[in-house]
Amino acid sequence: MNTRELVILVVSALLIVGAWVLLKPHPADQPKPNPSAQQVQKETPSTPQSTTTDNPELSQFFENFLAEYLKRDPEWSSDLRLFGNVPDPTGDQLTDASLQGQKKTDEFLREKLQQLRSFDRSKQSEKQLLTTDILDWYIDDILRGEEFMLDDYPVNQVFGVQNTLISLMTDLHAINNSLDAVNYIKRLSKFGTKIDQVIDGLKVREEKGILPPKVIVDKVLGSMKGFAALESEKNPLYLSFVNKAERVSAISKEKKDEMAKLVSKEIKDTVYPAYQKLIAYIENIAPKAPTNEVGVWRFPNGDAYYAYMLRHHTTTDLTPEEVHQLGLKEVARIQGEIRKLFAGLGIENKEIFGEMQRAYWASTQDKAEFQYPNTEEGKKQALADYLKIVEEAQKNIKDVFDVTPKTPINVKAVPEFQEASSPGAFYQPPALDGSRPGIFYVNLANLPNKPSMQTLAYHEGVPGHHFQLATQREMQGIPTFLKVVGFNAHLEGWGLYAEKLARELGFYKDPYSKIANLWSELFRAARLVLDTGIHYKHWTRDQAMAYAWNNVGTRLTGEIDRYIAWPGQACSYKVGELKILELRDKMKKALGDKFTLKAFHNLILENGSMPLSLLEKIVDRYITTAQTH
């Protein structure tokens, strides 16, 4: 697994309808963390008396930790751009994907966790205690997953290495000077080593009987073959270099042309052979890939692995059964709300909700006012309309937000070569050095249905991920680690909360946009059922699609394939949103007339991303303080 989870969002997705994730653990085959260290932590009071001033030694530890961690993950370093205007110090390197490299990183993390727990909590300021608890949870979570090092799919259609390597170069590797350009070429020269490391890991998994399902195999083979068939000078790796270098006036035209030839040569001599090697390996295991049994339950330690992945993504201790039942309950509730709107539009009531949803879609699909022409002009207009929605939200949301980002947000189309492997939309956070704004990416392979656009823009842009992640990266007077760490339930829970907040504020003016918004929520609730169905209840892919067909209205084929490849992640949205709503209700009931949405939103945003249990402690502390003043 990779240490980043929302880092390379261009292939994302993030999934996403959304973005996804900043840090992803990459467990290794090591023993559990030192029990004595865990015991010390367990016996330490969770809320000790703290000092009012920071412990300088601990503050330095926080900064050193991130700096040392980034040396082990130069690809994440390129995304964060902590180095400002100077060349990226590790910009010529790729992150070690070998099993040995992962083990070394886990040894490093185990050592850092013990150091972190050795600091006297009574000598930490309140802010330091929060940082300590966040970092402790983050590292401990990775080490909890060490025994499941081989239970993932490094090559998959969502965040597979074959995609993230390309996005690293096209979207994250900046070229501001000659050294950056040289480093671009050096990185391409290391693609072969990286792919070899991945193949070595795949072979170990194969020996243990851990193979990706056929649906993943088919998708990655199709994508890689298309990529490797491009002429080198029509490859996105080449075009990206030429476009970036063209903007650097300090490099002469002759030098740019010379470097471009070297890029083309590396693509032909290194990149393509590496991908062909990976293609050959995947083709070799394809006959053994399971077709119907697609859940991780089939792994030797599959149930424990899935429980870990649920905890990692939801940051809760909910069991798979609890998540499944929560999903069934939410699906029924939201379907009831949509049925009421259907009645107002004359949609015949039916026992099977999916039949009603399809009838509604059929009644609207020919409405010209809901569609864009499938032309370049239509695509440009869709992007312009998304930007307009975001800009209007920024104006209309001010009454309920004090904390808003200064960094601008742009709306861009997903590059054509990434459309097939990208989600419908996702958000890429701004670079810490200010060189890149927040970007709301839209996949225009399928032009949007106009009533659905508001919900998507609120989730990915304003007041969703842009407010959340750009604000996090702009926070002052905190350790840099807190500006970049991410926890899925908080991140995606906020994105889904933003959709509902817009509904509560009356942003959806007509029944069509209201139905689209509620359907988006239904879709996230169904994810709880589908993900646990596949990985816990042994559902086949066909069973999952049948459930979606009856309860959501469509088979969600691509989404279900994503859940197969990425266990647990899809559950983070609804679990996180429900927790945020629970905390808001808790604060509202406790404070009565003293409650304001601004104050609540400040609490959720101004402290950065964190596990839901720590978020609840922050809200509880605020309530106690407010009640005594």
Q: Mean pLDDT across the chain, nearest whole number? A: 91
Q: What is the mean pLDDT of residues 280-284?
A: 98
In whole angstroms, give the CA distance from residue 234 to residue 217.
25
Distance CA 143, CA 33 (A): 7
CA gap 145, 567 in Å, rounded:
13
Q: What is the dihedral of CA 84, 89, 93, 96, to 10 degrees?
A: -90
**What gap in Å lies between CA 287 and CA 297, rounded to an integer?**
20
Q: Which residues are paired to 410 by β-bridges? A: 439
Q: What is the pLDDT of residue 390?
A: 98
Q: Residue 455: phi, psi to the nearest 5?
A: -55, -45
Question: What pLDDT score does 5 carry?
Answer: 39
| pLDDT bucket at 107, cuts 50 / 70 / 90 | very high
**pTM reported for the whole predicted model:** 0.91
Question: Residue 409's beta-bridge partner residues?
Answer: 438
Lowest mean pLDDT among 475-479, 546-550, 619-623: 475-479
Region 272-301 average pLDDT: 97
Predicted pLDDT at 543: 98
Domain limits, the chain: 35-148, 161-211+214-288
